[in-house]
Amino acid sequence: DFKRLAMWLLLDRPHRGIEAWRLFRKDSFPDIPCLRPWTHLELHEGGTFGPCQSGYMREPFKAFQGATIEDLWFSREFERFRLDFLTRMETTCRDTCSVLLTKLATAERFFIRNGPKRAIENQLKALEAAISGQISGDWLPTSICVAVTSFCNYDCLMCDCGEKGTLGDERGDAFWASIERYLDHGILVDVTGGEPLASPAFRRFIERVAHRHTSPFISIITNGSFLTQTWLSRLPVLPFISVTVSLNAASEKTYETVTRGIPWRKIRQNVERLLDARQTGKFSGDIIYSFVILRANIHEIEDFARMAIRDGVSLRYVLPEGNRNNQSILLSLESMETARVSLEKVAVLLEENGLAERATHVRSLERILRERIASRKLAPL
pLDDT for the residue 226: 97
Per residue in 182-230, pLDDT tens?
988 889 999 998 999 999 999 999 999 999 866 778 999 999 999 999 9
Per residue in 85-126, pLDDT tens?
888 766 778 777 777 777 778 888 888 988 888 889 999 999
Cβ neighbours for 193, distance < 8 A, ≥ 6 positions apart:
147, 148, 149, 150, 151, 152, 161, 165, 199, 221, 222
pLDDT for the residue 179: 92
pLDDT for the residue 90: 66
Task: Specify the length of the chain in residues.
Answer: 381
Per residue in 232-251, pLDDT tens?
999 999 999 999 999 999 99
Per residue in 223-234, pLDDT tens?
999 999 999 999
Instruction: In whole angstroms, give the CA distance from residue 132 to residue 124.
Output: 12
pLDDT for the residue 18: 86
Look at 48 and 254; give whichever has higher pLDDT. Answer: 254
Per residue in 333-353, pLDDT tens?
999 999 999 999 999 999 999
347 in Cβ contact with 341 (< 8 Å): no
| Of 252, 227, 354, nearest in space to 303 by CA | 252
Indicate the helix (H) or strand (E) that contains 204.
helix 200-210
Instruction: In whole angstroms, give the CA distance from residue 199 to residue 368.
Output: 36
Give this prediction's pTM.
0.90
pLDDT for the residue 324: 96
pLDDT for the residue 26: 67
Cβ neighbours for 151, distance < 8 A, ≥ 6 positions apart:
161, 165, 166, 167, 169, 170, 193, 194, 195, 198, 199
**Which class for 153: exposed (0-12), middle (13-18), buried (19 or more C-beta within 10 A)?**
middle
pLDDT for the residue 372: 95
210 in Cβ contact with 235 (< 8 Å): yes
Per residue in 23-74, pLDDT tens?
887 666 677 788 999 999 999 888 899 998 887 888 888 988 888 999 999 9
pLDDT for the residue 259: 97
Q: Evaluate if residue 286 carries a pLDDT over 80.
A: yes
pLDDT for the residue 61: 87
Per residue in 148-176, pLDDT tens?
999 999 999 999 999 999 999 999 999 99
Instruction: In whole angstroms, give the CA distance from residue 129 to residue 138.
Output: 10
